[in-house]
Structure 1
Amino acid sequence: MTSNSTAGAQPRVAVITGGSRGIGRESARLLAADGCAVVVCSRNQDEADTVAKEITTAGGTALALRADVSDEASVAALFDAAESTYGGVDVVVHAAAHAGLGRTSPVAELDLAVLDVLYRTNIRGTFMVAQQAARRVRDGGAIITFSTAVVRLAMPGYAAYSASKSAIEALTLILARELGSRDVTVNAVAPGPTATELFLEGKDDATLAGLAARAPTNRLGTPTEIAEVVAFLARPAGHWVNGQVIQVNGGVL
């Protein structure tokens, strides 16, 4: 657990699930650079500590917490800790890795046990984080969820995964309307193929080249490129963007 308090005006507070790797890690670093006090949440305490230390070494403010976003009590405890440490929450980025991208199957052959895992992790997990965010985020804040470009691409074999992500999109758009009177924005970011550790794992060069070729620029996105959009949505400059699913995919077709 690492924290670095600053004197004077209290900073905005950002809670980032999945903040120790990939897009979440880059989002944490960018929001800290913007002056937010960042709560880095991960299932791996050591990895969260590493990111928090990087932020504080650079002069930012960060707190590392272990939390399981599939567990209701753990999610509530995460927000409790953020509030008790920094006095409130202004931004929530739910970047925790979601299940199912590698579990492809035609609808006719899908093992329903896989569907149950997708439901619990992607839909129920996101709903729990969104529920706590809706209760805790201060007026004028921002909530950012994650979908995927796969939903729009309608790729065969990805029905269960895409359905779970479509549910996240629906939740996001409805929550934006429910929280509008409090000036809280709610948006989803939908990345295309992005070179995170999790995405690259288990894929050979030919597979990665094929995925890269789907973009006009013939390359994969980077975690930082996705995180820049997250940071924009969290900033005051991005506050008029609300109730949107933003495709960040390099023009993937």
Structure 2
Amino acid sequence: MAFKGKVAVVTGGSRGIGREVCFNLAREGASVAVGYQGNAEAANEVVSQIAATQGCGRAIAVRVDVVSAADVKEFFSKANEEFGRIDFAINMAGTLLSNYPKIEDTTEEEWDRVFAINTKGTFLVCKEAQKWLGPGGRIVTCSSNSVGALLPKYGSYIASKAAVEAFSRVLAKEMAGKGITVNCIAPGPTATDMFYAGKSQEWIDSFIRSCPMGRLGEVQDIAPLVRFLVSPEAEWVNGQVIRANGGTGDDRVGEKLRPWQELLTDIHGSSSRDPDAGHSIFLQGLIAVSQRSADLSVQRDERQIPDSFWEYTEKDVALYALGVGAPGPDPVDPVELPFVYNPKGLEHLKVLPSFAVIIPGSMMETLASIDGLHYDETLLLHGEQYMEIYKAIPTSCKGRSTKRISGLHDKKKAAIVEVEVMNYNDRTGDLLSLCRYTIFLRGAGGFSPSAKPFSYSKRTMNLKNAGRPPPKSAPADVAPSFVVEDQSQTSQALLYRLSGDANPIHTDPKVAAQAGFERPIMMGLCTYGYAVRAIIRSCCHGDPSMMQSFQGRFLSHVYPGEKLTTEIWLDASRANVTYVCKAGGRKVLAGISTLATSLSRL
């Protein structure tokens, strides 16, 4: 009963971390004033549970609007009236904008509301606390790990909490001689209603993957820290901001810039970069991995992103083919029906080579596996996709994927990241395919000297066609060798989504509208699959084993239901193909493909 006879006032005590703090202190004998703003039922439940637990201190529920000085004063007065003293003032009331607007989209009213509760509220509680606390008193404020991580879409929240950190340190110094400590806790992502509000499961999962502990924090992880800070043992801890985050990176620009500065020194021979400039926060994780990939200073087994393991069945292969439009408008088309049906059984299906690009999981999952990488999903563009096929893709398989950063380039207003993935068959050990994802991160450039922008590239050589000249771009004045027209379905994105791409921009009208589209758009890799089908149909007699490599640059969006027209040029060797895919008069995809040389007979 370490706190027997002590009294704590806790704002935000009816829910989340504040609720658990009330229980923690009461179990140690403290009496608690449970401050709440709107949910009297939840606050009274806390009081009832404390009263029903043997050995706990007493508790009362007090309504307090922390943005009102009069309410805050009344809160302290009622606590003192009930318990006769106040020893600990704990600020847990807070809010964030659950629509997560960018700063440019945040209204003045939203900004003011966040600052009123998070910053002004903490200021008023701390100011009032000084009138009631004596020697041995404790003030605890609450910030957030996001102040260090600088997460996009958290602008108002981070700014308000950064202010709390700053004035908590100042207040600790101003309390000199009074025997009162002031400390600030900064929890990482914690499983509370406020954290979950407005987040997709994919976004939540990205927070989990960023934590070395492999999970979200729980309120039971945070409350004991508060209990320690108000204890006699914490008397020598004062004026501190303590991050309780399970190891999730702080990622302050000024504190973790060193890895890429060292990389620039190694590559360019000098390092001259203002650590407070640019948007390097998006790229620190990538640069660290690029450094390992470049073999600059670490051992071989530390270079790669951790392997991923996967398994798929014949049904996944057929579902993917349907997702990219097979078998076209004719459900019994003899050229494409074998991708979804074979009278001998599913194990005899043909497999589209582009299935290789989804074997290791979605591109977002691949990015999420890069330790320390933080980025705004709304600023990410899938720029290009390349694949090489080394062995026929099995109709079912269990395997693994190795991943590495093969390129990182500073383009001033954007950064270009290249991720290479090698897919292996576990049973045979065969290398099945190489896939290279080229990703544009808008707003993430400018992380190196403009006179000598950073550019790192270590692509794998074309293993199957080494020495063969690559195809040239499509000729502007030559009629295409083939023109293939295909009709996407209005539900195409919904169908392709079942193969793993859950980005809501392809399904949710509101998300699509926020991104500037009149309705949900089709996945780029779905369009990619349409183009692969067009070349296999026109140039390969329907035989997918003839395609050895395929590269596509995404140029524009496609709406589900639009007609896709693929224009195809074969060069003189009949082994190299260039193509342009159009929808609604727009060029949406363009690139090159390499076919087996046996097709020279065409």
Whether the TM-score (by the shorter chain) exceeds 0.5 is yes
State, as a whole percentage, how many aligned pairs show the same letter. 38
RMSD, aligned CA: 1.7
Structure 1 residue matching 2:25: 3-state secondary structure: helix
Q: Partner letter of residue 140 of structure 1? A: G
> Which residue in the other structure is 1:67 paired with?
64
Residues in 2 aligned to 1:55 and 1:205: alpha-carbon distance in whole angstroms = 34
1:76 aligns with 2:73: yes
CA contact (8 A) 2:208 2:215 kept: yes
> Which residue in the other structure is 1:113 paired with?
109
CA contact (8 A) 2:97 2:114 kept: no
Residues in 2 aligned to 1:157 and 1:82: alpha-carbon distance in whole angstroms = 38
> Which residue in the other structure is 2:45 paired with?
50
> Which residue in the other structure is 2:200 paired with?
204
The count of aligned residue pairs is 244
Residues in 2 aligned to 1:101 and 1:150: alpha-carbon distance in whole angstroms = 14
Structure 2 residue matching 1:64: 3-state secondary structure: strand
CA contact (8 A) 2:79 2:85 kept: yes
Structure 1 residue matching 2:136: 3-state secondary structure: strand
Residues in 2 aligned to 1:108 and 1:81: alpha-carbon distance in whole angstroms = 42
Work out which structure has the larger RCO, using CA pairs closer than 8 Å and 6 or more positions apart in sequence.
1
| Of 116-125 and 211-220, the range deviating more from structure 2 | 116-125
| Residue 109 of structure 1, CA deviation | 4.3
1:162 aligns with 2:172: no
CA contact (8 A) 2:96 2:194 kept: no
| Of 153-162 and 242-251, the range deviating more from structure 2 | 153-162
| Of 47-56 and 154-163, the range deviating more from structure 2 | 154-163
| Of 102-111 and 169-178, the range deviating more from structure 2 | 102-111
Q: TM-score, normalised by structure 1?
A: 0.91
| Residue 118 of structure 1, CA deviation | 2.0
| Of 116-125 and 99-108, the range deviating more from structure 2 | 99-108
Give the 5 Å matches for 1:1-253: 11-43=5-37, 44-59=39-54, 60=56, 61-96=58-93, 98-253=94-249
| Residue 31 of structure 1, CA deviation | 0.5
Residues in 1 aligned to 2:22 and 2:158: alpha-carbon distance in whole angstroms = 26
Residues in 1 aligned to 2:115 and 2:48: alpha-carbon distance in whole angstroms = 34
Structure 2, unaligned stretches of length 5 or more?
250-602
Considering fraction of residues, name the structure with more strand. Answer: 2
- Cα 1:123–1:39 change in 2 (3 A) is same
CA contact (8 A) 2:98 2:198 kept: no
- Per-residue CA distance 1:127-150 (angstroms, 9 max, x = gap): 111111122112211000100011
Considering fraction of residues, name the structure with more helix. Answer: 1
Q: Partner letter of residue 40 of structure 1? A: V
Q: TM-score, normalised by structure 2?
A: 0.39
Residues in 2 aligned to 1:40 and 1:109: alpha-carbon distance in whole angstroms = 35
- Per-residue CA distance 1:174-201 (angstroms, 9 max, x = gap): 1111113111010010011000122123
| Residue 125 of structure 1, CA deviation | 1.1
CA contact (8 A) 2:11 2:34 kept: yes
| Of 111-120 and 73-82, the range deviating more from structure 2 | 111-120
Structure 1, unaligned stretches of length 5 or more?
1-8
Residues in 2 aligned to 1:107 and 1:48: alpha-carbon distance in whole angstroms = 34
